[in-house]
Structure 1
Amino acid sequence: MKHEFPLTRDLVLVGGGHAHALFLKMWAMKPLAGARLTVINPAPIAPYSGMLPGFVAGHYTGDELYIDLVRLARAAGARLILGKAAHIDRSAQQVVLEGGARIGYDVCSIDIGITSGMPELEGFAQHAVPAKPLDDFARIWDGFCKSSGKAQVAVLGAGVAGAEVAMAAAQRLRNLGREAEVTLIDRSVALSRLGAQARGKILAALKHLDVTLLEHAQVERIHADRVQIAGQGDVHALLTLGAAGTRAYEWLEATGLALQDGYIRVLPSLQSESDPAIFAVGDCAHLSHAPRPKAGVFAVREAPVLFHNLRAALSGGAVQEYHPQKDYLKLVSLGSKNALAEKQGIAISGRMMWRWKDRIDRTFMRQFEELKPMAGPTLPREHAKGAREVSGPICAGCGSKVGRGALARATLEHKGAEREDVRALKGDDAALLQMGAVQQVLSTDHLRAFSDDPALMTRIAAVHALGDIWSMGAAPQSAMISLILPRMSAALQERTLREIMQSASDVMGGAGAQIIGGHTSMGAEFTIGFSVTGLVPDAPITLGGAQVGDVLLLSKPIGTGAILAAEMQMRARGSDVAAAYASMARGVALDAKSLAGAHAMTDVTGFGLAGHLGNICRASNVAAELDARAVPLLSGALELAEAGVQSSLYPDNLSDALTLMKPPQTARGRLMLDPQTAGGLLAAVPESEAARAIDALAAQGIEAIRIGRIMDGPVRLDLIE
């Protein structure tokens, strides 16, 4: 992303809780010049707790439950790092992630919620699911509902949260027509913190839904199929949910921050009592000046004060104070589309309360859906001939490459000196250098960043560059890095370079290549690339070796071009974007090893699957059949293609492909021309070797798909849609 002003200060948000989500929305409307905003969260989506009972009951879908942090971060101009915080090194001012990555900060805010895990309860970690954090809980519950047979569910903890979950579970299973037993278990008195009116109404709702309530029950152990209770026998449960004993995350204890029962003690400014550079909000914070129960309403009310004070901390302004209301409206879902409203001891229940709660929840979530996508520039009335409006920004990654046609025509006319130790390989991106008995492959690749996470971009760029080495059957040897950083202060340059070099070392070192140097400069936006070498023990695998009868195998799904284009327009689901990132970040060394017997092989990148297959056809003087119906697609790619989303490089890929094939007629067919970044390997393998190669890849957890075959010429590409 481009920044209008040099970056000088780092603001890091740890966690995607409600206050941070609202902060991002406000930042999108009013960013602070010179500040780099980073969000760290384990998942690309964050669940909204207010709608969880409705999701459990089946009133809301999974998509309705989650805030899409990828879209929100794009709107806010923030970099999103998908990882879990494990520590905060306050002396170094770094957030340490699981796995060891370190993210530097000048100001840090924590909104990670709480957990309802019960590690002290024997068998809980192995056989039970805590209701918080919500991500795993929602996924596991959804899977349980899709199972068959008698549904036996136990919910531990009969507070408001536990009662809501139990009622919602009973309602969902009833709606599914399942024979069900739902048991709500508490070590003391159920709903003891509620007033008599509210408690009575919820107990009546539990009875109406046939939820069995066990009070004063001491759970001794959780088994895979039952809950063992002292002196009362066992409760049969194929799914045990934990909604009791909410607690702070244990890693906070090692930070040295002032804590109250594990929660971060904060001042009225929401700053830590022991470190003014650290803020905390939501359930993970303890308001020392005005202690309150853990409830989402306080996180929502804290957001405007947090927004003001974080900006003040970055700019040197004065802070505001947050003073929570003494009492708040409690809206409790009663399983069916009925709810209870309670405040100051007065409780009202019914369908009208549900409609009120539903409207509040949907209004809250709608603000994260109404985000403005990046618009293309408007064409002035006076313009040069041939100029036209573009529908969106130029894509990043391989979508920003120059088209194959223009590239081939321009380079055809210009050649350097002819050398005996440089062997030209028709169509291949890498060169083969012959030095006595040593054969060395040399290649280079460079990416315009599609993510402001430098570690992620470095990993993907390194995997992308190594693709040419691996696809030729070479072993990576050395690498040089080429880097353009956006304008930033010396301190931020150092922080960013540390993240980049750590990621580059992980990938290149893991591949057996040594980083021997590189070049860095400052520019308008972040770009990164590598020049790499590899050693070839035998004859290299080139594009020109395909033979008639060969089977075409592909080792990664495609669709990154469409997904990245949609992400820039804020039209892609965050979970789909995260899956695409994970696919791009996976190296193909194991793929290449299993496909070592290929006659021809290439990595699938900017020219798309059909374009790279066309290169094999041209270099080998053969025809090919590509079965688009068999080609694996990344989640969300087909849906986006059907909606007309395309990479800005697609028209160039189509123009070049039309020299070999008929134009595609379907969205799936068009994805065969979708530019890929760090794609899989496309190999022309002898028919006799295909099954062995597929099995060898499967043994490594890699799914290789048979997608076509090599045929006798003339050179052409037959696309089956």
Structure 2
Amino acid sequence: MKQQIPFTRDLVLIGGGHTHALVLRSWGINPLPGVRLTVINPGPTAPYSGMLPGFVAGHYTRDELDIDLVKLARFAGARLINGKAVAMDPAAKTITVPNRPPVAYDVAAIDVGITSEMPRLPGFADHGILAKPLGMFATRWDAFRATAGQPKVAVIGGGVAGAELAMAMAHALRDSAPEVSLIDRGRVLDGFNPPARSRLMAALSDLGVTCVEDADVTEVLAHGVRLADGRIIASDFTTGAAGARPHDWIADIGLDLHAGFLTVGPTLQTSDPDVFAVGDCAHLSHDPRPKAGVFAVREAPYLYDNLRARLSDRPLQAFRPQKDYLKLISLGGKIALAEKLGTARRGKLLWRWKDQIDRKFMTQFDDLPQMETDLPLRTATGVAEALGNAPLCGGCGAKVGRGALQSALGQLPATTRTDVTTLPGDDAALLTVGGQRQVLTTDHLSAVTDDPVTMARIAAVHALGDIWAMGAAPQAATLTLILPRMTAALQARTVAEITSTVAGTLGDAGAALVGGHTTLGDGLTIGLSITGLCDTDPITLAGAKPGDALILTKPLGSGTIMAAEMRRLARGADVMACLDAMQHPQGDAATALHSAHAMTDVTGFGLAGHLAGMCAASGVGAEVRLDDVPVMQGALDLAKDGIRSSLYPDNRAVAGVSAPDTARAALMFDPQTGGGLLAAVPSKMAEKLSGQSGFYIIGEITERSGVRFT
């Protein structure tokens, strides 16, 4: 859809906590036009703390635990930056995320939770596992539970969080005779009133959890925990649920703090009115409350309204938290304790109630409403068919079909210049300048992600592919940039992000960014014209010989995954892995393949189309073993579900290619963005590369014409 209203303000949400997740959902339903929304989070998902004990106990899967921020960001029209914020400068209005330029903002909100890190406890950094942030803990626990023999577990911190974890662990490991210890420097569950504490202590005892009280931990060992009195509590999995503290970088922002937490007033603003903070990382100065997820959830509508108000110069409203709240605590198995106003009850019905509440909370992020845009009542014949039933893909999925380009180029008159060598079928031109052979290529991509830095890396790696595929050394490039409509201030921010990223990516490849052109349009498009130098004859499409092995250097599936992501059908983790693969440079692979007989990069025409081009230029055929072709995680399942890129029909129609009608075969026609190299190499060279990471032997060149996938 075309962007009708220019961007004028940058709103950045730091962290994907419960409050921000709810704000993103509300924003997708009712955005504020003119605001460019950005989310910064270290990973594609945000675990829901309310279901963590149930996950640890084995009642929920990891997918059920996680909020998929990639799908949520797509729904909200937000760009998702996959990284961890480590610093913030309110004066410059920038946020530091490693390995990328500073992220600028006009208004920002912080929802990064707390950490259970124990930096002063010797050995914890090496042998302990943080309970918070939740993502890493969940991954480590999954691995431990799958391999534990006679498990020994220790939880440091006897508050409600530590007790819930200890009971969940004991329940999950109940068939393996576990030893689970809950360690506290005082009394376990000391913050509860007698009725609630009595029931919780009984639950711990029923599960065989050993409570170690009045115990100071002095060191965490590889297989145990040392106490101040010399005792060692055996443990192969030690986690910390005590001393929940703010992340270190929060203290360096320069905003008002309370015990290290960001101080906020009734409007959820910090001492800087353009910076908001919510959830466990914030302290409600006007009405202090304990760290509990219920308050983060209640803050969400107020944060949503106040962010919109701040960005449009309207009055803000005050958040007043409730005085007390219902505490539902998991007791290991499918049983829970409820506590409020000094009363406590436990039972299976309470667990079902808690399960219903938690699932309802998570369902709202899965069942996102469809925000459809209807066609006008009357359109010209063929409009509906041309639009299709899915959004137009970005990247190479948005390119024109191979046949149309070949037909147009084939009608051009042959050049009479002696310094230009025609290379039939290749994407680049070979020039001779002062006796030096120089490769020239150009390529451009419409955005597959709204993060301009990620897109800039992808575009640069993608354009460099033509240079690497010819065995040339990248030399210099100019940039062509189309930005969506935005104010001059946002233009400056975005151009700076893109140019510095492109320059860095080119620099790593040995090339220089020497200039560029910019314009405004309906969306982000990044193009590069690049030159490379050849010390020897370039590697072209022509030259493949019967008996050569076919080597591919990257898995396939980016077109399918990104087509699914546009429709919110792809898993966030698969999308992030796909984006990482697109950004992976191929310079080292090209060096290893320097003696290839023929080589190309696999991009818009898919593996089948590019291999067909190589075979046509070389006068040979090819046999490809489908099971030997690597595919990206998640791509095959999406292909089985019928997901196809916009360019797939054109790619599938390539003449001379035969393939079965299967999901795996469909991926052979999938347009790739920032794809790998495809090389025809001598068999001895293939033997050397066999088994090395990033080199996949997928078939052979044959004398018989045609490309066959079997």
If the length of structure 2 is used for normalisation, what is the TM-score?
Answer: 0.98
Could you say if the C-alpha distance between residues 142 and 2 of structure 1 is closer, same or farther in structure 2, counting changes exceeding 3 Å? farther
- The share of aligned pairs that are identical, in percent, is 55
Mapped to 2, the partners of 1:377 and 1:463 lie a distance apart of 37
Could you say if the C-alpha distance between residues 77 and 386 of structure 1 is closer, same or farther in structure 2, counting changes exceeding 3 Å? closer
Map 1:12-91; keep pairs closer than 5 Å: 12-91=12-91
Question: How many residue pairs align between the two structures?
Answer: 709
Question: In terms of mean alpha carbon deviation, does 207-216 or 380-389 score higher?
Answer: 380-389
**Counterpart of 2:696?**
705
**Counterpart of 1:323?**
320
Residue 86 of structure 2 aligns to a residue in which SS? Answer: strand
Deviations, residues 133-153 of structure 1 (Å, cap 9, x unaligned) = 001000000011110411111
Mapped to 1, the partners of 2:382 and 2:340 lie a distance apart of 68
Structure 2 counterpart of 1:88, one-letter code: M
Map 1:476-491; keep pairs closer than 5 Å: 476-491=474-489
Which residue, 338, 346, 349 being the options, matches 1:341?
338
Question: 1:361 and 2:358 equivalent?
Answer: yes
Could you say if the C-alpha distance between residues 364 and 513 of structure 1 is closer, same or farther in structure 2, counting changes exceeding 3 Å? same
**Counterpart of 1:5?**
5
**Counterpart of 2:558?**
560
Q: Report if the CA contact (8 A) 2:100-2:453 is conserved.
A: no
Mapped to 2, the partners of 1:671 and 1:11 lie a distance apart of 38
Q: Report if the CA contact (8 A) 1:2-1:486 is conserved.
A: no
Residue 520 of structure 1 aligns to a residue in which SS? Answer: strand
> What is the deviation of 1:554?
1.0
Structure 2 counterpart of 1:718, one-letter code: R
Question: 1:676 and 2:676 equivalent?
Answer: no
**Counterpart of 2:437?**
439
Map 1:200-239; keep pairs closer than 5 Å: 200-239=198-237
Structure 1 counterpart of 2:573, one-letter code: S
Question: 1:471 and 2:466 equivalent?
Answer: no
> What is the deviation of 1:434?
1.1
Which residue, 574, 584, 587 being the options, matches 1:586?
584
Question: In terms of mean alpha carbon deviation, does 144-153 or 356-365 score higher?
Answer: 144-153
> What is the deviation of 1:291?
1.1
Mapped to 2, the partners of 1:371 and 1:527 lie a distance apart of 28
Mapped to 2, the partners of 1:639 and 1:224 lie a distance apart of 40
Residue 653 of structure 2 aligns to a residue in which SS? Answer: helix
Mapped to 1, the partners of 2:369 and 2:354 lie a distance apart of 27
Structure 2 unaligned blocks of 5 or more = none
Map 1:88-167; keep pairs closer than 5 Å: 88-99=88-99, 101-167=101-167
> What is the deviation of 1:447?
0.4
> What is the deviation of 1:703?
2.5
**Counterpart of 2:306?**
309
Q: Report if the CA contact (8 A) 2:659-2:708 is conserved.
A: no
> What is the deviation of 1:382?
6.2
Deviations, residues 450-475 of structure 1 (Å, cap 9, x unaligned) = 21110010000000000000111111
Mapped to 1, the partners of 2:570 and 2:215 lie a distance apart of 47
Structure 2 counterpart of 1:63, one-letter code: D
Q: Report if the CA contact (8 A) 1:338-1:352 is conserved.
A: yes
Question: In terms of mean alpha carbon deviation, does 530-539 or 177-186 score higher?
Answer: 177-186
Mapped to 2, the partners of 1:513 and 1:125 lie a distance apart of 40
Mapped to 1, the partners of 2:407 and 2:547 lie a distance apart of 31
Q: Report if the CA contact (8 A) 2:559-2:671 is conserved.
A: yes
Q: Report if the CA contact (8 A) 1:28-1:77 is conserved.
A: yes
> What is the deviation of 1:662?
2.4
Q: Report if the CA contact (8 A) 1:373-1:569 is conserved.
A: no
Q: Report if the CA contact (8 A) 1:433-1:440 is conserved.
A: yes
**Counterpart of 1:716?**
706
Map 1:283-294; keep pairs closer than 5 Å: 283-294=280-291
Residue 367 of structure 1 aligns to a residue in which SS? Answer: helix
Could you say if the C-alpha distance between residues 604 and 153 of structure 1 is closer, same or farther in structure 2, counting changes exceeding 3 Å? same
**Counterpart of 1:497?**
495
Residue 366 of structure 2 aligns to a residue in which SS? Answer: coil
Could you say if the C-alpha distance between residues 432 and 373 of structure 1 is closer, same or farther in structure 2, counting changes exceeding 3 Å? farther
Residue 544 of structure 1 aligns to a residue in which SS? Answer: coil
Question: 1:662 and 2:653 equivalent?
Answer: no
- The CA RMSD measured in Å over matched residues stands at 1.4
> What is the deviation of 1:414?
2.1
Mapped to 2, the partners of 1:304 and 1:528 lie a distance apart of 37
Could you say if the C-alpha distance between residues 552 and 227 of structure 1 is closer, same or farther in structure 2, counting changes exceeding 3 Å? same
Deviations, residues 359-378 of structure 1 (Å, cap 9, x unaligned) = 00000001100124576865
Could you say if the C-alpha distance between residues 41 and 597 of structure 1 is closer, same or farther in structure 2, counting changes exceeding 3 Å? same
Q: Report if the CA contact (8 A) 2:42-2:84 is conserved.
A: yes
Residue 433 of structure 1 aligns to a residue in which SS? Answer: strand
Map 1:584-663; keep pairs closer than 5 Å: 584-656=582-654, 659-663=655-659
Structure 1 unaligned blocks of 5 or more = none
**Counterpart of 2:681?**
685
Mapped to 2, the partners of 1:125 and 1:308 lie a distance apart of 40
Q: Report if the CA contact (8 A) 2:608-2:657 is conserved.
A: no
Structure 1 counterpart of 2:334, one-letter code: K
Question: In terms of mean alpha carbon deviation, does 210-219 or 369-378 score higher?
Answer: 369-378
Residue 347 of structure 1 aligns to a residue in which SS? Answer: strand
Residue 406 of structure 1 aligns to a residue in which SS? Answer: helix
Q: Report if the CA contact (8 A) 2:111-2:278 is conserved.
A: yes
**Counterpart of 1:278?**
275
Deviations, residues 621-665 of structure 1 (Å, cap 9, x unaligned) = 101011111111111000000000000100000011xx1122431
Residue 672 of structure 1 aligns to a residue in which SS? Answer: helix
Q: Report if the CA contact (8 A) 1:375-1:391 is conserved.
A: no
Residue 545 of structure 1 aligns to a residue in which SS? Answer: coil
Mapped to 1, the partners of 2:615 and 2:682 lie a distance apart of 16
